[in-house]
A and B are shown apart, each in its own frame.
Chain A
């Protein structure tokens, strides 16, 4: 079942079309990476989805068509993490930020305590709780921004270039946490990125080009289609690229995204 349905979306900025007839259907519990080049309007789509911008066309969230009356309620189903986490911090302590959203939604205290315990445990952030989020490292800030959103238990998590500034090791840590949360809580994830390597962590890929979704399919079909990716200004992610080239020399017979599996396949 689709949890998000966008039909014939049109959005103009300064009299220029950003989207002209965009359709997108996101299945409940899926992890979709939305890929697009710089200036393709990816962040605009994130803002349209959470109602921060308004376009023409129809956006349906969990069966309800978005309008000015139900926007606040629909927004509670969604959590969004932006590229710059500083814009999301309100409190002077990490713990303050984690409970802020729950206080706002008047979630009972005993539920707050339970959720806090769970998220702190999940993210292993006990040592950061009393620190000022503004003075954390870039990666830690994004970890806290993500935890502050997930503590509200949204049905849909939208990541808008959320890990662009995060260093390698921390990025891997965050993605493996997200994988666990996605698996256990069945949360729908929409990860918007300019970096095709990010698509390897998800299940499906939707590619934005020329003011619409050009292709939406499972990641294997899109990331292994070298010709199509080249046409839209991308190269397959490293492991897909390696697989495609090794397939050409008949050294492997399929595209794999895992290095260990590739080494096993090559030296059977």
Chain B
């Protein structure tokens, strides 16, 4: 599902938070929204599922058009197609068992209620959890597991677009790795359009296709991840540090005037270095 921002502005009262946001998120791609805290990342992603409406301009989400002061027709259809996982998964938990939690949306919206048990199991399986979790209390799980439950309760609607707000904050190495595998699976196997708001550039670099950098409510940079991430000075101006892999290649270019290239994986970087040093 393609998402198009058409010269969008958004204000909280008289405070202008987003200015002239004009870009397109391609269907089936993973897009990173980067910016330091207060840059407008969270506001921008909330404009995609109709939690907020633009003050000026419009947001097109598939066939839905979100415009200022205009009631969204069939808002539930939009919400089923655009799932959002919040920064702190606990914020979206209501129930004391994983089964009730993951199945909550189906009951609440009277949506695809049949075969609830099967749907809950399938959603858990997609995030790598089995039925042994069904009776467990979601609040008592580890941070990584909580995030997986929050994702499963979104996946049960089979949304076309999934938005993550700062998904890696507080996650340790193993949990982050497992989350990365899940995102890759959602893209490859289930062709989801994925949007990730984060300031964790090392994580984003390993997973995204496209990047949008926000600075004080405006788009500072956008494009494919290599083109954006290699512009270290401009990222720094926005409060963001470039990914380590890119930063190292930049350092070699700056100090030795050698272009060793930009890589996704440390082993590929090693091969490049080997070629140039040996």
> Is A bound to B?
yes
Q: What is the interface of chain A, defined by CB distance below 8 A to chain B?
A: 37-39, 83, 137-139, 161, 164-165, 167-172, 194-196, 233-235, 238-239, 241-242, 245-246, 249, 251, 259-260, 262-264, 266-267
Residue pair A266, B273 in contact (C-beta under 8 Å): yes
User: B241 near A245 (CB under 8 angstroms)?
Assistant: no
Provide the residues of chain A in CB contact with B142, threshold 8 Å: 38-39
B273 touches A164 (CB 8 A): no
When distances are taken between beta carbons in the complex, the residues of chain B under 8 Å from A168 are 36, 199, 201, 239-241
B258 within 8 A of A: yes
- Whether A139 contacts B143 by the Cβ 8 Å rule is no
A38 touches B171 (CB 8 A): yes
A37→B178 CA distance, assembly (Å): 14
Judge whether B37 is part of the interface by a CB distance below 8 angstroms: yes
Within 8 Å by CB of A169, from B241, B274, B278, lies B241
Interfacial chain A residues near B248, Cβ < 8 Å? 242, 259, 262
Of A39, A139, A259, which contacts B247 at CB under 8 A? A259
Q: In the complex the two chains form, what is the Cα distance from A241 to B175 in whole Å?
A: 19
Q: Are B37 and A194 in contact (CB under 8 A)?
A: no
Q: Is there an interface contact between B172 and A169, defined as CB atoms closer than 8 Å?
A: no
A to B CB contacts below 8 Å, 20 in the list: A38-B175, A138-B37, A139-B37, A164-B169, A167-B199, A167-B239, A167-B240, A169-B36, A171-B241, A194-B172, A234-B173, A238-B245, A238-B266, A245-B267, A260-B255, A263-B255, A264-B255, A266-B273, A267-B255, A267-B258
A254 to chain B, nearest CB (A): 16
Residue among B173, B175, B266, B267 having the largest count of chain A Cβ atoms under 10 Å: B173
Is B37 a contact partner of A259 (Cβ separation < 8 A)?
no
Closest chain-B Cβ to A12's Cβ sits at a distance in Å of 16
Asked if B239 contacts A259 (CB within 8 A), the reply is: no
Q: Are B37 and A167 in contact (CB under 8 A)?
A: yes
